[in-house]
A and B are shown apart, each in its own frame.
Chain A
């Protein structure tokens, strides 16, 4: 029988510390929708998504009510569209039609995002991949709920530098195409090294080709819970600090496991994984930066920050792994600048720079996330930033990502407001030195030596 203090601990986590289930994401395989006729393909996609996920939002809300835990987002991730559309799409416009179909399907079932407008090109681009990538600016500008991702590198294959170069241009075009809204299109677009096939978080969620037909993946959250727990062990040594994070992560992840199992049963869809990631929101008290600062670093970005992120990331995994039967996705700490109020503040006062963020990405679960940069940043510089991040992921055998937003018409130090969960942030300065000749070389960076394990 549970005890009074345990009940109130759980209640406090939910009521005062923003504990929630960040997302229930249904992965849907669309390979069986393939057709050589674009009209039939779009019909098939609409039919499969709306039928497969018709009860997703209702069930998510019911679970939230039954357990008294907010289930913030209900989302869908589909098979990378470059594969699904390969036999039907002859032009980029054909791919844009698929994006519009995804948007209509998402609207119909009431999910706030649908991911998978994606291409996996870590070793090379097919004609279809190129068409999809070139369609991204129009696809994301013309839709609200569609999220795109492109995998540019992996430890096994190296880095596709042609695709890295192309993505620099595509990100600039996406920013331009959505310049009326703070270049928000770029917030729905992420590039990856070593992407996860079962990631439930946007913008990078897609349903990997090794997955089953439908699957339920759940992302938990709870930076506020971790921060509150750490505040109770102020001044204690690292052993105590680490144990505290681990135990808290266990409790948070158990909620995710419960929700994932329930969603799986009620929807009659197999349970995939729980993603242990701590994901912040712009709400007060829902910040990763606050955790770092609670550990004793004055502002996130100050010396000690990378070590603090490493501790957080590792302990969250150690606590979370035992709490769930299947752990996957990105599983770690997210460090999105605009989505984390204290992170954005640290950037504003100059404590946090892109270079320090890059260092932090070596030890956390993702990468440069929701980083607004000046609108006049060149495509080559963006490609250079992407290449650096891809290299970190490739060499360290981990997922890294870049979701960077060159905000049209804005200069370093000005502020951009994205609104809602995407938050606001100062525009972060980038190095004024270029890398054009490096990016222009083209071709592939070979896989690193430690990838040859056979």
Chain B
């Protein structure tokens, strides 16, 4: 498994998660978990995805998500899971 954590921050409106999910489907990226909170009109969303079957380079996916983010007015970032595990787990 090649776990990547995707974070999304931006003003909430319909279709944000749909756009991100479509992008993952197109690239053979499996969603393992989704969590989100909405504070006032802003959405904070996190997805844990598996990129095992994805054939693209990680840098392409990072750029691709950035473009999806621009399309829906949000900032989307992808980072390998280890950085979160290292920081928050002993």
Contact = CB atoms under 8 A, between A and B. Distances in A.
B82 interface: yes
A255 B87 contact: yes
Interface in A59-86: 65-69
Given A4-B44, A11-B7, A69 B88 contact: no
A10 B46 contact: no
Contact of B86 (A66, A68, A254): A254
A65 B83 contact: no
Interface string A238-267: 000000000000010011011000000000
Contacts of A255: 83, 86-87
A251 B9 CA distance: 22
B2 to A, nearest CB: 11
B87 A254 contact: yes
Interface in A1-33: 1-4, 6-11
Nearest to B6: A7
A69 B59 contact: no
Interface in B62-90: 62, 77-90
Contacts of A69: 79, 83
A303 B82 CA distance: 42
Interface residues of A, number: 21
B26 interface: no
Given A10-B84, A66-B58, A254-B87, A2 B79 contact: no
Contacts of B5: 2, 7
A6 B88 CA distance: 7
Interface in B41-73: 44, 46, 48, 58-59, 62
Nearest to B89: A2
A68 B33 contact: no
Contacts of A66: 58, 79-80
Contact of B79 (A4, A6, A67, A322): A67
Nearest to A66: B80
Contact of A10 (B36, B48, B83): B83
A256 to B, nearest CB: 10
A4 B35 contact: yes
B6 to A, nearest CB: 9
Contacts of B40: none
B37 interface: yes
A68 B46 contact: no
Nearest to B88: A6
Interface of B: 5, 7, 9, 33, 35-37, 44, 46, 48, 58-59, 62, 77-90
User: Which 9 residue pairs spanning A and B have beta carbons closest together?
Assistant: A68-B79, A67-B83, A254-B86, A6-B88, A2-B84, A4-B35, A258-B86, A251-B87, A7-B46
Given A4-B35, A68-B80, 13 more contacts: A3-B88, A4-B44, A6-B88, A7-B46, A8-B44, A10-B88, A11-B9, A66-B79, A67-B80, A68-B78, A69-B79, A254-B86, A258-B83
27 contacts: A1-B33, A1-B48, A2-B48, A2-B81, A2-B84, A2-B85, A2-B88, A3-B35, A4-B36, A4-B46, A7-B5, A7-B46, A7-B84, A8-B7, A8-B44, A8-B46, A10-B83, A65-B58, A67-B82, A69-B79, A251-B87, A254-B87, A255-B83, A255-B87, A257-B86, A258-B82, A258-B86
